[in-house]
Amino acid sequence: MSSEEETSQASSSSTPPPSSSPPAPSSHFIGKKDDIVKAGRVTKLVNGCRDVLVLYHQGQLHAMDMRCYHSGGTLQHGDIEEFNGRLCIVCPWHKYKITLAEGEGLYQAVDDPTARPLRTHWRSKGVKQRIHKITEVNGDVYVTLNDCAETIESDTYQTERYRSVPLKAQPKLKLSIQLDS
Ligand code: FES
């Protein structure tokens, strides 16, 4: 998809139906589906190398890199909203929108800034957040890491340097104080 391509209507992938076959050897156990549904969101270090967020929303499970591609924000605290028919997690740090199904960054574009009223469209910046595959077997939930060799921007925040940063920290807001002269 080109980086400027306008977003299409809902194209979210669906959670595969529960299976009784054994999980793939490359998959990693996350937890019991009932527990994840109850919690809504679960974070886990998968395979000792990747912090993954697994979330349950409207009957579906999704998995993605835990830290936002923009600046490492804590996606597990983000709201889920729909933009142009696509479900997105909204990063709590700077409100970037990331589609749950593909990990695309969405932005609002204005075709003609001189036209009134302004007409805006949701467009895609392309895949920015690494999305992982979810499998459910007999009520157990597994993640298979997305091993696409192409670099995805959220990879930046999967290094040891960022893993050791406390995730509760919010970026500090710059306060400008005007003093009366
Ligand atoms: S860190 Fe997520 S929007 Fe900036």
Say how many Å lie between the CA of residue 169 and the centre of ligand 1. 13
Say how many Å lie between the CA of residue 111 and the centre of ligand 1. 25
User: Is 38 domain-assigned?
Assistant: yes
User: Is 148 domain-assigned?
Assistant: yes
User: Is 37 domain-assigned?
Assistant: yes
Burial zone of 57 (CB within 10 Å; 0-12 exposed, 13-18 middle, 19+ buried)? middle
User: Is 169 domain-assigned?
Assistant: no
| pLDDT tens by residue, 29-52 | 999 999 999 999 999 999 999 999
User: Is 5 domain-assigned?
Assistant: no
User: Is 171 domain-assigned?
Assistant: no
Say how many Å lie between the CA of residue 157 and the centre of ligand 1. 12
Tokens for 107, please give them: 């932005």
| pLDDT tens by residue, 124-155 | 999 999 999 999 999 999 999 999 999 999 99
pTM: 0.82
Question: What's the total number of domains in the chain?
Answer: 1
User: Is 69 domain-assigned?
Assistant: yes
Residue 108: which domain range? 27-159
Question: Does a cis peptide bond (omega within 30 degrees of 0) precede residue 16?
Answer: no
Mean pLDDT of 163-167: 64
- Residue 152 carries which side chain, given as an amino acid letter? I
- Nearest atom in ligand 1 to 71's CA: 1
State the pLDDT at residue 111: 84
CA nearest neighbour of 125 among 145, 96, 84: 96
CATH number at residue 75: 2.102.10.10
